Structures are given as C-alpha cells and as structure tokens.
Structure 1
Amino acid sequence: MGDTLTPHQLSIQTREYPRVLTIAGSDSGGGAGIQADLKSIAAHGGYGLSAITALTAQNTRGVQQAFFPPAQFLSQQLEALSSDIDIDAVKIGMLGTSDVIAAVRSWLQKYRPPVVVLDPVMVATSGDSLAEEDSVAELSSLFPYADVITPNAHEMAVLLGEESTEQWSVLCEQGQRLADCYKVAVLVKGGHCSGERTSDALMMPGHSEPVWVGSSERAQVRTTHGTGCSFSAALATELARTGCWQTSLERVKRWITGAINNGQRLEVGGGNGPIDHFYHVHSVISEQSARVSDVDKYLLQAQDLDMVRLRESFSEYAWELSTSIREQVNSCPFVEGLGDGSLPQDAFIYYLDQDGLYLKEYSRALGQVSIRATDTESRMFFAHGAVEAVEVESELHRRWVSRFRDSAYVTGIPSTTTEAYTGFLLARTMESYGVGAAAVLPCYWLYAEIGKNLYSAYQEYAGEHPYGEWLEAYSSEEFQTSAHQAVNFVNKIARIVSDGELISMKNAFLRACWLELRFFEEPISACHLPLRG
C-alpha cells in the first residue's frame, strides 16, 4: 500500500458512513485503546468494529498489568468480522506479542483492507511499556500493509534505534527517514516536543519536506490519555470518508485539539485524564439547555395573547413577539461579519456546507406545506418554493462550495443544530397547513430582512466585498417579493383556523426564529473563532 500513495489522495471508494475496524488492546479505564477508538470512530460518523488483542489493568495513572489472549483467538475475531462485514478502514493499535503481530499480518495479506492506519503502540502517555521486547522488531513487518503509521516521539526513537528528541526539526527528520526506509507515510506527532505550540506533520517517502503540517496552541491541561489512539482511529475514519489526506488530517487535528482542551470537564481520574471525544456534541447540548428559556418564555405566554390581534394581524404581532430573537440575529458576529466583510472565510465555508444540507430538507418541508395548502394559489407558491430551494439556491451553494471543496469545513454531514432545525420543520409541516406555513415563514422573512440590511452595508463597502454575490442573492427583488407573498399566505390562513391552531402557528413561527438564530451563531463557535470586540 505504502508505495502507491500520492501526497493528496487515496485511490479508494469513499463511504459516507464507513465501517471501521480497530485491532487494539482494551483499556479498563476507558480512555485509550479499543474504548477510545470506538468513541473516535463514532465521533467522526463511522461504525466501529473491534478485535481485541490484549486486556489491561490500567487507569489514568498507569498500566498495572497486561494480559494477551492467544493469537488464535484474535484470528477468529478477524475472520468472523471479515466473513460477514465489508470493512472500509482498519486502525491497528496495541499488539504486544510476536504471535499477535503474525496473526494480524496474515489477515492483512489475505484481505487487504482499503485503508490501514497503524499506530505502533509501544509506550503509553504515562511512560509504561506496552509491548514485549522481541515484538518491537517484528512490528515493522506490518508497515508494507499500512497507508500511514503514527508513532509518538518515544515510539519513533524505538523504531529507528535512536534517542528520543523534544526538538521538532529533529523529530521531522526522524519521521522522513522512517518513511523513506519503509516506503510508508509517517505522521509525525509533536506533542512531546517543547514549545508553546504543538505541530503534526505528514511525511511521504521520497519527499524532502512534509506534505502537510498542522499546528495548534499547546493545551495547558493533563487530559491527554489516549490521544494517540484517538487520533489514529479518527484518521482511519476520515480517510475512508474523504479519500483525501489534507482534508482528513485537518479535520482530525481540529477535533483532537478541542477534545483535549475539553477533557478536564469529564473529571475522570487523578492522573492523565481522558480526552472528551464528544465535546462538540456536549457543547451544543449544554448551550441549548442553558438557552432554551430564550424561546420558551415566548411560547408559554399564550394566556397573555391578544387573540383578536393575532388572528387579524398574525405577521405583525408575531414579528413583535420575535423582537428579542431578531435583535440577537442582527448583532451576532456571523451576521455582522457577513455584512462588513470581516467574517473569517472558515466560518462562511462552514455555514455554506450546513446551509446546503438545510436546503435539501427545507425543500421537503415546503413540499409538505404545498400538499396541505387550502387553495390553489398558495399550493403553487409553496410548490414553486420547494423547486427553487433545490434548483436555484442549492446551485448557488454548489458554486460557492466548489471553491472550497478541500476545506476541512466541507463535511457533508449535518450538525446538531442543522438536524434540530430541519427535524423541527419536517415535524411541524406534517401537522397542518397553518402550522407548517408559519414554521417555514422565518426562512423567507428573516432572510429577506437580513439580506436587505446587509445589502445596505455591502453598498457602502469600499472595494470588492468577499461575500457580495451572496448578499445580492438574498437582497434581490425576487427574493423580497417571495418573502412578502409568504407573509400574506400565513396571514390569510391565520384568520380562519381555530384558536388552538393559531397558538400553534405562533409557537412554530417563534421556535423557527430561534432556530435561525442558532443556525447563524453556530459557524463561529464550530470553527473555534474568537468573537469580535
């Protein structure tokens, strides 16, 4: 495998939800080994399989003992899996004994998995040895079957028979020698090196310089247990999903940095604690839980409503009720940065990726509103909107995304916020025409108002605005007219529904406004960008 690699792409058939096998040891503390691998695979959208090579008695302070089941049992695990399941990627971790290495080598020779990431686990973060001395030399016999190996600084030194180093330049030289010697890509990991920042680099055989380098500020935390295991398992998953070295490495580097920085909130153990594999999910859940009252205070005031006014002037009254939410939308860093051109490109790319995924489901929601519409005019309007969302707006997204297709922020996977918003729309548009129309209205109306306001800032911009084409699309007369028509249709149905449905319409409108706010806020936080001001 190693000699067929190119600096940028892998010649494999990628899969959106790859089936990833981890061949590694078990960590009784849950922070490394099989347990960490399965968490990492799941965190990156893969389905994890496992073949256990060793059992350890360990915690965050160190490894007390390791037990190696017979190699024949490992072979039986591997055969059972590969005889039934098509495996898209393999991560190999702790092997420990010569017999186990031979069993893995025999299986690799027979099945040749599309992607193989080999993490030569020999020295734990705590400094404990995890391999028998006579197995270290034999480990290199697996290198010809790997796409990349991911040793830490200590393991690099063992493999080369040299002294371990804390100098980044020397470590890269060691990585290049290892890559050239075994004709395999080597991921050099600088976590053990000195300095305020930590770097990783991908060395390819025959190259004088790294083909990729990623750097981040050094985390001032002790939650680093299982970092190497987690990185390699995540990399195997991303390579199977994207087939691209740069995209995969950037995504994993960004993720592992956040996972390390957030590990301390798990409060596990008294030594080197584990990373938080699902920090991105935990952050969204915590933030949404803390802020749910922002919208619920509007939804729970039905007893104070002027029902006559709500029925006769639904849009005017609902617009007033949404004032606080709309003010937060207008003042959020994403919207302000989009208007004055200061928005970091990464945040805009993230938004494009998620908005394109949103539009696919929004089109379905509009289609459901059209089916439930009570008159021909509104039925045709929402049906046309469904087509527009797919053909016109999605095409605008595709044009923009094509410029950034190699970005780590183009994932094609809906975020938690995107799934929450689209799930809400699809559920509400199944209820009734009135509730469904009110739920989809903010995407017309809020966007039209934002587009109109941002277009004013765009016209005052000196020079070529980086997002000018985007702002023109949502401030166009055609889009403004569509928003006005949507408002009229919602006002029309509000006059004839029951009181209960009218309140449900108000609630659906306000909840959608709040989800729009969450959608605009997410790109800044998801890309770990600082807030302005």
Structure 2
Amino acid sequence: MGDTLTSHSLSTQKREYPRVLTIAGSDSGGGAGIQADLKSIAAHGGYGMSAITALTAQNTRGVQQAFFPPAQFLSEQLEAISADIDIDAVKIGMLGTSEVITAVRSWLQKYRPPIVVLDPVMVATSGDSLAEEESVSELSSLFSYADVITPNAHEMAVLLGEDATEQWEVLCSQGQRLADRHEVAVLVKGGHCSGEWTSDALMMPGHSEPVWVGYAERVQVRTTHGTGCSFSAALATELARTGCWQTALERVKRWITGAIKNGEKLDVGGGNGPIDHFYHVHSVISEQSARLSDLDRYLLHAQEVDMVRLRESFSEYVWELSTSIREQVNSCPFVEGLGNGSLSQDAFIYYLDQDGLYLKEYSRALGQVGIAASDTESRMFFAHGAVEAVEVESELHRRWVSRFSDSAYVTGIPSATTEAYTDFLLARTGESYGVGAAAVLPCYWLYAEIGKNLYTAYQEYEGKHPYGEWLEAYSSEEFQTSAQQAVKFVNKIARIVPDYELICMKNAFLRACWLELRFFEEPISACHLPLRG
C-alpha cells in the first residue's frame, strides 16, 4: 500500500513554513469555515491567508443566515493576495453560488498553486445546507484543478447522484467511482460509518483498492463541528510542508482525532461544539504549569541546604536531591520498555527524531559552556563534547533515523517539550560557567546511569535485542568516562563560586533533571494513537 502511494507524486517542494490560502465561508461561531481553516493551518506550522466567499450567522446549533458578497469582491481578494504572496497550497471550501465557483475557476486557471485541496462543502454538521442547488453540479468543474477532494458521506452521495451510506465498503466504492469519473484523488472519510474504529481512505484513479487507509479509535463526543474544514486545511498545509502523501495523511489523521477528543474541554455552545485545534499546545501548557508549579515548590524546599556540604561535595548532594526525579525516570514506560525490548518502534522513532533535534541545540549549549570555562582543561572538555554531540552522537541518530525515514514520526520539528529543554539549556549556559556546567551535567550523568542500568537488562535479554546497538553506545566505557569528567569539572567550579551562584547551580541541575524526565515521558504519550494501513 505504501509503495503504491509513493508512486503518486506531488507538484511541490517541501517548505518548513508553508503559505496556505483558504477560500471559504466565514463561521461567526468560530468552529468551521475560514476560522477553523486558519486555526488548522497555524496548528500545522503554516502561514494562513483567507479569501471569504460567504458570511454566515451561525453557532454550534445551526446556520441562521447566509450572505454571499458579490463574486467580483472575491476575485479582488484573490488577486490582491496572488499579486504579492507566493502561495504554496490552497484549501477550497464553501463556495455557495455559481458566480463564486466561476471566480475561483478563473483564478485557478491563472494562478494554480502547487497544492490544491478541494473540500466540496454543501452541508454543515448541523444538517443545514450551505450551497445553492444550481451550484452543486458546477463544483465538478473545479475537480480537474485539484490534487485531492475531501467530501463527507453526504457530499459524496450528492456528487454521484446516489444515496448516502453508512457502510464503509460501499463508501469506499463510491469514492473510487468519483475518483475514476473525474481523474482526481478522493479522500473517503468514514466518520459517519458505524464501528469501533473510524477509517479514512485515499482513492486514486485507476485503482481497485485504497492506496492509503488510516484508522483511529472512535470518540463518542459532540465536538465535531468543523471537522471537514479543519481536516482539509490541515492536509493542504502538511502536503505543502512534507511533499509526501502518506506522511501528511497520517499526521492529519492523528491530529484530527486528538482535536475531536479534546474539543469538550473548550466547553463552547450547546450544540455540536468545535474541535480543539490546539489541543497539543493546550496539553503541553497545562502539563508545564502543573509540573513547574510542583518543581518550583520542590526547588523552594531545596533552598534549605547545607551550604558547606553543597560546596565541598556538590555532585553528591544534588544527586541525593534528585533521587525522586531519577526514580521516576528509571520507572517510566519508555525507559523500562527500552531496556526490556518491549518499547514500540513508533515510540523509539519519535524519541530518535526529537533527540537528534535536541543534540543540535545541546551542542550549542556545550559550546557556550566551553567558551565560558575558567581553565584550559575544562574548556577543552566541553568544546570536545560539543563536537562529539554533532559528529558522533548525531551520526548515530542519523543512521537509526534513516532506517525509518518514511515514518510519520520523523518530523524534523522539535516538540514543545524538546524546545522547553533546549531553550532552558541555552538560557542557563549563557549566564555563567558554573550555572551552565550544572545545567548540561544531567545529560551526561543521567544518561550514563540509565545506560548502565539498561545495559544490564540488555545482557539478560534472550535473542537479538531490538535496541541493542543503541544501548551499547550509551553504556560504553568512553561515555561513562565523559560523564565522570563532567562531574569532576562541575565539582571543581562549585568550590569557588559565590553562594548565590552555587544555589543557581543546584537549581539548574535539578531543573535539567526534571526536563530530562519530561523528555523521556513524551514518546509514549505522543504515540498513543494506532497507525494502521
């Protein structure tokens, strides 16, 4: 299935921050249309632009009124954007009238962007009609300009002139006929079908079976307003950003499932509520707030320290203070699964991707520590560490990641957790040598301790351990020696810094340990949705 999908190329080059235009109607309730599209584009790292085709008075309960501005005004919006900004992708949604369709067709003939996703919006989630009857038949005139069209089950039936179905096999058959009839890719969406799982499928012209199928566990909620708009806008963004059908589809499938699942937390309206487009950001913010609150209390309590002991045996003292954090690291599912070989490949790939991104910034942090170092020996050690992080460890990551380059979990984009950790390191290593050295120490010391523990489990493993090569690298004598050298240099500077800086060193070490814990916890939570197909 994957090989079949990769044979269908996209006329685009990958762009990290794609510029995506949405041509659609406005939803005054904010859950669908232009408003949902712009949220979806932003949620996937794109820069959103909009050309409004209609104004609606609506909320979560339904559409009360729709107003269609003159089609000429739509043409002027499109011309203004196209004359100044290079558009990487366009999502076309609610058009509503024949005149509007004609205006969009004329614009596509003149400016067609590399990626065109057409969502033939006709019926809102509430059941209200969003298009004039005479315009429905004209929508097909735009299909030849599209890379993919994304009708729901009701819209599929209207486009084919058939009855709507809730049977997945029948829906896929309808999607294939629509794809063959118009020679365009069709994304079949099975949200209205029955069953424990929801399925989506991509049908390509000339194929008897889907070229991609995505599954997710069905979520029983009412927060489904704007799902079609949001999915298509996100897909346009990901296609432009990745240039890959499979990667884009799998990312959007996972995201839309999470957005639907978390929509109830927004508590918007009394009808079909909106999805939470930024649930991944909200969850990180909530988690960070809770964790930082706990950590701040922990650090405050830890202010009551024996300064003499802290100065004379810094590493021994902070190691004791970090006991509870280290115990959580050793018992977290990722670390345990890595040791006993039960860790899922998806979680390991996610970790590899994020750890490789982390190492790039960690190398910068080590470089800053080296520049600030107070003596030649420590300066050379941390400078060498910066080089090692880039050349040796990063090469190890590249070798592993190359084996899974087609995985949807290889994004090349740092998560909020990764950014929080690296931002902290770069900030602390810019303060002073002592604070910076204490901040980077857990990545040496914790990894060395974890490496030793995991290597013991690895040796007891019967058969070929799936992550054996990785465990050997971090349990090696060379890495263990580097960790002990880092401890030595931090102890050395701790004996001569002022009391205030010594406290800052302690706090930096403990906070870095805490961020290490969050980094190890993330791969499991990030990969909780199934990937099939």
Coarse TM-score class (shorter-chain normalised): over 0.9
- How far residue 8 of structure 1 moved from its aligned partner, in angstroms, is 4.7
Partner of 1:66: 66
Partner of 1:91: 91
- Cα deviation 1:78-103 (Å, max 9, x = unaligned): 11111111111100000001111111
- How far residue 405 of structure 1 moved from its aligned partner, in angstroms, is 1.1
Partner of 2:523: 523
Distance in structure 2 (CA, Å) of the matches to 1:77 and 1:519: 45
- What SS does structure 1 have at the residue aligned with 2:15? coil
Partner of 1:368: 368
Partner of 1:407: 407
- The yes-or-no answer on 1:76 pairing with 2:76 is yes
- What SS does structure 2 have at the residue aligned with 1:25? strand
Alignment map for 1:109-508 (pairs within 5 Å): 109-301=109-301, 303-508=303-508
Distance in structure 1 (CA, Å) of the matches to 2:32 and 2:240: 22
Distance in structure 1 (CA, Å) of the matches to 2:381 and 2:69: 66
- How far residue 454 of structure 1 moved from its aligned partner, in angstroms, is 0.3
In structure 2, list runs of 5 or more residues that go unmatched: none
TM-score by length of 2: 0.97
Distance in structure 2 (CA, Å) of the matches to 1:9 and 1:198: 27
Distance in structure 2 (CA, Å) of the matches to 1:445 and 1:260: 41
CA contact (8 A) 1:63 1:128 kept: yes
CA contact (8 A) 2:6 2:246 kept: no
- How far residue 215 of structure 1 moved from its aligned partner, in angstroms, is 1.1
- Cα deviation 1:93-135 (Å, max 9, x = unaligned): 0000111111111111111200000000001111111000110
- How far residue 302 of structure 1 moved from its aligned partner, in angstroms, is 5.3
Distance in structure 1 (CA, Å) of the matches to 2:54 and 2:328: 53
CA contact (8 A) 2:119 2:232 kept: yes
CA contact (8 A) 2:216 2:529 kept: no
CA contact (8 A) 2:6 2:245 kept: no
- How far residue 292 of structure 1 moved from its aligned partner, in angstroms, is 2.0
Partner of 1:37: 37
Tell me which amino acid in the other structure corresponds to 1:234.
A
In structure 1, list runs of 5 or more residues that go unmatched: none
Distance in structure 1 (CA, Å) of the matches to 2:244 and 2:513: 37
Distance in structure 1 (CA, Å) of the matches to 2:139 and 2:365: 54
- What SS does structure 1 have at the residue aligned with 2:273? coil
Distance in structure 2 (CA, Å) of the matches to 1:97 and 1:303: 68
Distance in structure 1 (CA, Å) of the matches to 2:203 and 2:71: 32
- What SS does structure 2 have at the residue aligned with 1:292? helix
CA contact (8 A) 1:298 1:321 kept: no
Distance in structure 1 (CA, Å) of the matches to 2:25 and 2:204: 28
- How far residue 285 of structure 1 moved from its aligned partner, in angstroms, is 1.2
TM-score by length of 1: 0.97
CA contact (8 A) 1:198 1:217 kept: yes
Distance in structure 2 (CA, Å) of the matches to 1:375 and 1:6: 54
Distance in structure 1 (CA, Å) of the matches to 2:60 and 2:97: 24
CA contact (8 A) 1:298 1:510 kept: no
Distance in structure 1 (CA, Å) of the matches to 2:105 and 2:172: 28
- How far residue 529 of structure 1 moved from its aligned partner, in angstroms, is 6.1
- What SS does structure 1 have at the residue aligned with 2:169? helix
- What SS does structure 1 have at the residue aligned with 2:57? strand
- What SS does structure 2 have at the residue aligned with 1:42? helix
CA contact (8 A) 1:7 1:245 kept: no
Percent identical pairs in the alignment equals 90
Distance in structure 1 (CA, Å) of the matches to 2:163 and 2:504: 69
- What SS does structure 2 have at the residue aligned with 1:56? strand
- How far residue 298 of structure 1 moved from its aligned partner, in angstroms, is 3.3
Distance in structure 2 (CA, Å) of the matches to 1:129 and 1:475: 63
Tell me which amino acid in the other structure corresponds to 1:27.
D
Tell me which amino acid in the other structure corresponds to 1:341.
G
- What SS does structure 2 have at the residue aligned with 1:11? coil
- How far residue 294 of structure 1 moved from its aligned partner, in angstroms, is 3.5
Distance in structure 2 (CA, Å) of the matches to 1:237 and 1:462: 45
- How far residue 485 of structure 1 moved from its aligned partner, in angstroms, is 0.4
Distance in structure 1 (CA, Å) of the matches to 2:31 and 2:44: 17
Tell me which amino acid in the other structure corresponds to 2:92.
I
CA contact (8 A) 2:21 2:87 kept: yes
- What SS does structure 1 have at the residue aligned with 2:138? helix
Distance in structure 2 (CA, Å) of the matches to 1:50 and 1:423: 33
Distance in structure 2 (CA, Å) of the matches to 1:528 and 1:47: 28
CA contact (8 A) 1:8 1:246 kept: no
Distance in structure 2 (CA, Å) of the matches to 1:528 and 1:83: 44
Tell me which amino acid in the other structure corresponds to 1:40.
S
CA contact (8 A) 1:90 1:117 kept: yes
- Cα deviation 1:277-331 (Å, max 9, x = unaligned): 1111111111222222442233213541100000010000010000010000000
CA contact (8 A) 2:19 2:88 kept: yes
- How far residue 400 of structure 1 moved from its aligned partner, in angstroms, is 0.8
Tell me which amino acid in the other structure corresponds to 2:308.
V
CA contact (8 A) 2:254 2:529 kept: no
Distance in structure 2 (CA, Å) of the matches to 1:484 and 1:190: 56
Q: How many equivalent residue pairs?
A: 526
- What SS does structure 2 have at the residue aligned with 1:304? coil
CA contact (8 A) 1:7 1:211 kept: no
Tell me which amino acid in the other structure corresponds to 1:396.
L
Tell me which amino acid in the other structure corresponds to 1:29.
G
CA contact (8 A) 1:8 1:244 kept: no
- Cα deviation 1:225-248 (Å, max 9, x = unaligned): 000000000000000011111111
- What SS does structure 1 have at the residue aligned with 2:456? helix
- What SS does structure 2 have at the residue aligned with 1:280? helix
- What SS does structure 2 have at the residue aligned with 1:21? strand
Partner of 2:511: 511
- Cα deviation 1:195-251 (Å, max 9, x = unaligned): 221110000001111000011121110100000000000000000011111111000
- What SS does structure 1 have at the residue aligned with 2:63? strand
Distance in structure 1 (CA, Å) of the matches to 2:240 and 2:303: 54
Distance in structure 1 (CA, Å) of the matches to 2:399 and 2:147: 33
Distance in structure 1 (CA, Å) of the matches to 2:165 and 2:189: 12
Tell me which amino acid in the other structure corresponds to 1:60.
T
| Closer/same/farther in 2, CA of residues 405 and 81 from structure 1, 3 Å limit | same
| Ranges of 4+ aligned residues in structure 1 off by more than 3 Å | 5-9
